[in-house]
Structure 1
Amino acid sequence: MKERLWRLAQNSSPPLHIYGRAKTAQVHFLNVKSTPTSLQAGSPKVSWLLCTHQENELLHRAIRSCLNQTLDDFELLLIVNGIHADKLALSLQGVYGRDMRVRVIDTPIYLLNFSLSLGLHLARAPLVARMDADDVSAPDRLERQFDFMERHPSVAVLGSAYELMDADGHVHGKVSPPETDREIRSHMHYQNPMCHPSVMLRRQVIVEMGGYLGGKNAEDYDLWLRLALDSNWQFANMSEVLLSYNASPKGEARRSRTAYSNAAGAQLRNFLVTRDLRWLLGSALSAGKSVMRATRA
């Protein structure tokens, strides 16, 4: 049976290209053998996880902010997805290939939740810092979040305050989310209190949760809601502004009918598991937003 699966993979599954520390590798989906683990000797303290399907100046600005950190013991995983991912990955490898901290991985599977889980699978550090392809991280973000996670071993997801900016880099305000686990869990019944590209995650905890399973534009909220069912782990947000969040394109996606419906589904699931009526109310509110406030499908 194993032989048949391997032959099927060799003949029909698209290869997964990994560019970086070693020679370019082609890894078939049914036989991924290059699985790094956080227990490997010489693994970095933090793995950046950034996904993209296009190359532009905003992406390069985001990558530069990841590379120019006061904490320099990290790797940067660039997960490139979509039908032209192989060509884009080669282009990015040409730009960043000399930096031994950068690894470029491409996959034709487009949706973000697969790319995020793929990045978690390949990350070599015990802590994973999320980043979006059009945001900017503060130069001391990794250092501050790493120190916090070292001092608070029960925290599995750590976010931060963030400023809102447009594509030109102009700042239009600041968002200060709830900071304590209790406050975050209270808000989580009705909305997402964690800014996804600001978070640092404990890799092993998220891997054991199954990684990213949620629907489009709500994959992070779905993960937080699954983790919220486990009282052994905590959420936290730092009061410092550690991210400049490009709100213009993502705000539209977050207000889509797809996003609201996926959030409502995750909230309803938590109600059915816990019988906590706050989850049911949150689900009803998200469903109402899908009807009344959604800007697009």
Structure 2
Amino acid sequence: MAVYQEDRVEWVKQAVDSILEQTFRDFLLFVVVDGPLPSPILSFLQAAEQQTEQLVVLIGTENLGLSSCMNEVIERCAVLSPKYLFRMDADDISEVKRLEKQVSFFERHPHVSVLGTSLVEINEAGVEVGGRKLPLSHQEIFDFLPKRCSMNHPTVAFRYSVFEHGFRYRKELKNTQDYFLWIELMQAGYIFENLSERLLKFRRVNDFYKRRGFDKSINEFKARWFAMNKLKRYSLSNILYAVSVLALRIMPAKVVKLAYKLDRFILDKLVKH
């Protein structure tokens, strides 16, 4: 979990507590402080670290971005020989049995290396405002990938062996780093799955649509083209979709918001679970 200057202390506390209260107990929670933090957040994290051996706070003096934070944790925990690595954002809330259910799935399906879940979208007040479900099977995820990032990144768990084989997040990317990683792992032959259960509450804040700006739009377009190239999925449909979404992303936030809701509706119709 990476924490940033713009995060709210009450949200960080809910996120941390949701992990520390998990029914599955054999874990360490790494929180990376990515640059300067408001004193209430830093004080909470330092106090929480003193209260439990299951929380490790890594202090960074400058903002390096999520990719660097993830790679830092991957390197730090290598000496612990972990079996799994879980992702989460500092403004989200994991359901109490999230770790238990994802670990259990891994234990029963040793061929699966990357496992996500569905999620519930909540607003700033914690009220449910939507949901996001994605294709479940590896083949469905593969088929969707040239058009959509087929994993909810904050819900994802990895077998740590993925990283022992040298894979890392692209540190030069400030966004869409997960999309590129999925494509690289898919090309390398790793098996993906998604659970239908909504095991995370994803915080959709008021500026959610505004933050999907031009840089992110360009990177999403590059990722879709990268997927078509690496996975041999060139088609007129995939190319038109990539170009259409790029054009849409540069439109006003109200239009993007409407398109996002339409996309969720279409996805719900396409994904049967």
Contact 1:129/1:200 (<8 A) preserved: yes
SS of residue matched to 1:147? helix
**Structural RMSD (CA):** 2.6
1: CA distance, partners of 2:3 / 2:27 = 19
1: CA distance, partners of 2:26 / 2:98 = 13
What is the aligned residue count? 246
Structure 1 length normalisation: TM-score? 0.74
Q: Please, which runs of 5 or more residues in structure 2 have no aligned partner?
A: 257-273
- Which structure has more relative contact order (CA 8 Å, sep 6+)? It is 2
- Structure with bigger gyration radius: 1
User: Which stretch of structure 1 is more off in the superposition, 261-270 or 124-133?
Assistant: 261-270
2:72 partner amino acid: L
Shift of 1:211: 1.1
% identical equivalent positions:
28
CA deviations on 1:237-280 (whole Å, 9 max, x unpaired) are 11111111111257336622221211111222333445531464
Counterpart in 2 of 1:67?
20
Paired residues for 1:79-118 under 5 Å: 79-84=32-37, 89=42, 92-107=45-60, 108-118=62-72
Alpha-carbon distance change, 173 to 283 in structure 1, aligned in 2, over 3 angstroms: closer
Contact 1:225/1:267 (<8 A) preserved: no
SS of residue matched to 1:242? strand
2: CA distance, partners of 1:235 / 1:293 = 35
Q: Please, which runs of 5 or more residues in structure 1 have no aligned partner?
A: 1-49
Counterpart in 1 of 2:217?
260
195, 198, 205: which one pairs with 1:248? 205
80, 88, 97: which one pairs with 1:131? 88
Paired residues for 1:18-29 under 5 Å: none
Paired residues for 1:218-297 under 5 Å: 218-231=176-189, 233-248=190-205, 251-252=208-209, 255-278=212-235, 280-292=239-251
SS of residue matched to 1:62? helix
Structure (1/2) with the larger strand percentage = 1
Counterpart in 1 of 2:4?
53
- Is 1:200 aligned to residue 157 of structure 2? yes
Alpha-carbon distance change, 136 to 119 in structure 1, aligned in 2, over 3 angstroms: same
Shift of 1:86: 10
CA deviations on 1:57-96 (whole Å, 9 max, x unpaired) are 0000100001001111100000111145999656522233
Counterpart in 1 of 2:110?
153
2: CA distance, partners of 1:154 / 1:197 = 22
1:288 partner amino acid: A
1: CA distance, partners of 2:187 / 2:17 = 36
1: CA distance, partners of 2:73 / 2:25 = 20
Contact 2:136/2:194 (<8 A) preserved: yes
2: CA distance, partners of 1:191 / 1:250 = 21
Alpha-carbon distance change, 274 to 64 in structure 1, aligned in 2, over 3 angstroms: closer
2: CA distance, partners of 1:220 / 1:149 = 20
2: CA distance, partners of 1:250 / 1:110 = 22
1: CA distance, partners of 2:133 / 2:209 = 21
2: CA distance, partners of 1:97 / 1:152 = 36
